[in-house]
Structure 1
Amino acid sequence: MDDEERNWHGYLEKAYQFLRSAGRPLAAEELAAAGINRTTMSQLISSGLVERPVRGVYHVPTSEDDQRVMWAAISLGYDAVFCFMSAASFYGLTEEGAGIPDVAIPEYGRVPSKYSFESRVRFHRWPRAAMVDDVEIVDIQGVSVRITSPARTVVDMYRHSTLNREPGIKPVVMDTAFIDCISRFIADGDQNAKSMALRRVAEAHGCWEGISGIMAVITATKDRLMTF
């Protein structure tokens, strides 16, 4: 819809242009600081030109949007770390797309209502330390998004698969997804640095023996196939 076709009140046009010029999702608090209230945003959503991907977060969609703009919106609205298949997809450790976001939230935090989101999100409760250790910050759509590091992602995928016998850990990852993840992790790049990083994280979580055994099988299988 062109500007001249909207015939809006001035306050709506001002709010819309402010949000559009940001080029990223904005939280309600940021809009309030600019003098824009929720009533105004509700009217803009009704126009169809503004989306609310997460409750309290607003965005003007464009063709230049990052495909993970939802991640940016979640990061603005919640204390969140992207993990498991979401992290694996981000680092190219799986052929699967990002799909339903896997999001870790503080262990004693409230799981948001499914009605707070435009699409599905899988939430996982993590201890506070797990929300910090080996977590990287990446820029998505102009928003700082926290995501587990590549080595931490491999370790998490193993620990939360049925390949791990550690008591008290709920399996949420398919075994095949973990095998694919670790196979891609060790396939290229600086193998010495990657192995050191993986061992450090795995030993910290008490699962290096299990992961290293699987790595040995994958490497041996690959070597045998290369001899044919």
Structure 2
Amino acid sequence: MASAAIRQQDQALNLLRQKGMVRLAEFNQAGVAATTISRMEKAGLLVKLSRGVYRLPDAVRDTHHSLAEAAKLVPKGVICLVSALAFHELTDAIPSRVWIAINSRDWKPNATHLPLEIVRFSARLLNSGNDTHLIDGVTVRITNPAKTIVDMFRYRQSEGVRYRQSPGLNRALEGMREALRQRKATPANIARYAEEAGIWKIVQPYLEAMTANA
């Protein structure tokens, strides 16, 4: 029994070294029992970040560590809106929570120590305009700059009750201005995602005004 426990412990440590952060379900799939994880946590061999998510105690944390943690907590989610804007360095704002989009029918995660702002996208929009980034060994899906800007316009404050947690129109304009200035998004790409989202008539005057004297 002792040798089996040691093998499980070694397997758990190998997984953590490979992936950076590991969910309990991933340990279980690899043949590591929850009791082994509990013993390792008590012995200080791993650290519990939030419900069912673990990392090594001496792991070096990336600046965007919270995005990786959110991706582990919500495996089907996509980092979006203000969090994506900050990741792409298109705003000076530091988000107080991680904005993450899920499918309109997906399960919403329970509250954790990590502050999450969950928004729901249709399946079509959720799977459009995403790039993958490796953060702390975790593959994280994040909306690209052009898609992020369009999403910001979709969630602008003037939409009312549905978007009462909206970051507002000014933040959308800030993101568009910076993306064009830094050449992280082209007018054509922004227009394409706006058309796809059905808000081109809303985005068009702002985009034309910013590109008129370019």
Partner of 1:6 in structure 2?
none
Q: 5+ unaligned residues in a row in structure 2: which ranges?
A: none
Instruction: State whether structure 2 residue 18 is matched by structure 1 residue 22.
Output: yes
Q: Is the 8 A contact 1:52 1:118 kept in 2?
A: no
Residue type of the partner of 1:213?
Answer: P
String of CA shifts for 1:12-32, please: whole Å, max 9, x gaps: 863664355335111223322
Q: What is the SS of the residue equivalent to 1:123? A: strand
Q: Is the counterpart of residue 90 in structure 1 residue 87 in structure 2?
A: yes
Matched residues in 2 for 1:69 and 1:19: separation?
A: 18
1:205 aligns with 2:197: yes
Q: What secondary structure is seen at the aligned counterpart in 1 of 2:108?
A: coil
- Structure 2 CA distance for partners of 1:22 and 1:188, relative to 1, 3 Å: closer
One of 90, 100, 104 as aligned partner of 2:97: 100
Task: Determine whether 1:186 maps to 2:183.
Answer: no
TM-score by length of 1: 0.77
Q: Which amino acid aligns with 1:152?
A: K
| Aligned residue in 2 for 1:4 | none
Q: Is the 8 A contact 1:90 1:98 kept in 2?
A: no
Tell me whether 1:113 sits opposite 2:105 in the alignment.
no
2:149 aligns with one of 137, 145, 154: 154
Alpha-carbon distance in 2 for matches of 1:201, 1:77:
27
Equivalent of residue 38 in structure 1, options 34, 39, 42: 34
Residues 53-100 of structure 1 deviation map (CA, whole Å, 9 limit, x = unaligned): 343221114362212233223323421111000110111111123431
**2: CA distance, partners of 1:179 / 1:15:** 48
Q: Which amino acid aligns with 1:127?
A: S
5+ long unaligned stretches in structure 1: 1-8, 224-228
Given the superposition, is the C-alpha separation of residues 203 and 33 from structure 1 closer, same or farther in structure 2, using an over 3 Å criterion?
closer
Percent identity over the alignment?
24
2:150 aligned with 1:138, yes or no?
no
Which is higher, the Rg of structure 1 or of structure 2? 1
Amino acid corresponding to residue 46 of structure 2 in structure 1: V
- Whole-Å Cα distance in 1 between the matches of residues 60 and 81 of structure 2? 26
Aligned equivalents of 2:133 and 2:209: distance in 1? 33
Taking only aligned residues, the RMSD between alpha carbons, in angstroms, comes to 2.8
User: Separation in 1 of the partners of 2:95 and 2:176?
Assistant: 17
Under a length normalisation based on structure 2, what TM-score does the superposition of the two structures give?
0.82
